[in-house]
Amino acid sequence: MQRKVISILVQNHAGVLARVSSLFGRRGFNIDSLTVSATNDPGISRITVVVHDDEKVLDQIMKQTQRLEETCNIFRLENEKSLLRELLLVRVAANAHNRGELREIADIYKARIIDMAPASMAIELTGEPEKIDAFLTMLGHYNVLELCRTGITAMARGDGSKHIHTEKGV
């Protein structure tokens, strides 16, 4: 099944994230990633949900999510027409023998070394999920001590005017 990215603009009210995520959970959808972020309007937040599941059921959940009082707008983001980004923080065991190799890998992927310790280094990488996956594959031969990924955050390419919130239903 293909990755599906859903962007939901919601009123910034307490409990709205729980209501949205429970709709997916009640239908048995496994959420691959879920991010919530501020928008240019302090009263509106963007929820980005990534799933791999049945198209028909997803359309039904989107319709139910649209009916929530706090939902301002909901839309699918197609990979080719969207900006998808993720942040990775990874701590790798590092010593005099492998530090240079780790720096080279980081340079190739345009990652930043953000912390050095005698026995480890922390690396930050931002990019498309496929870039993050490829970077982690390259680190597969090293001892990864700690790792965290933010999950995908996304918006439409171009002016995105049809995805901007003005008022419910518009």
Mean pLDDT of 120-135: 97
Query: Where a domain ends, among 77, 112, 141?
Result: 77
Using one digit for the tens of pLDDT, what is the confidence trace for 131-163?
A: 999 999 999 999 999 999 999 999 988 876 555
Task: Output the pLDDT for position 89.
Answer: 98
| pLDDT greater than 90 at residue 10 | yes
CB 120 within 8 A of CB 93: yes
Q: Which of residues 57, 77, 97 is at a domain's end?
A: 77
CATH number of the domain within which 116 lies = 3.30.70.1150
9 & 66 share domain:
yes
Which carries the bigger pLDDT value, residue 113 or residue 13?
Answer: 113
Give pTM, 2 decimals: 0.82
* Cα distance between residue 144 and residue 129, in whole Å: 18
| Neighbouring-strand partners of residue 36 | 47
Split into its structural domains, the chain has a count of 2
Q: Is residue 167 part of a domain?
A: no
What integer pLDDT is reported at residue 160 of this predicted model?
64
Cα(112)–Cα(120) distance, rounded to whole angstroms?
14
Last-in-domain residue among 50, 77, 104: 77
- Residue 40: give its domain's CATH number: 3.30.70.260
Domain that holds residue 122: 83-149
- pLDDT, position 170: 43
Question: pLDDT tens digits for 62-116?
Answer: 898 999 999 999 999 988 889 999 999 999 999 999 999 999 999 999 999 999 9
- Buried residues in 62-98 as b, exposed as e (16+ CB within 10 A): bebbeebebbbbbbebeeeebebbbbbebbbebeeeb
Task: Tell me if 112 is assigned to some domain.
Answer: yes
Contacts for 161 with CB less than 8 Å, ≥ 6 apart: none
Q: Does residue 166 fall inside a structural domain?
A: no
| Residue 54: per-residue pLDDT | 75
In the predicted model, is pLDDT for residue 129 greater than 60?
yes
pLDDT above 70: residue 164: no
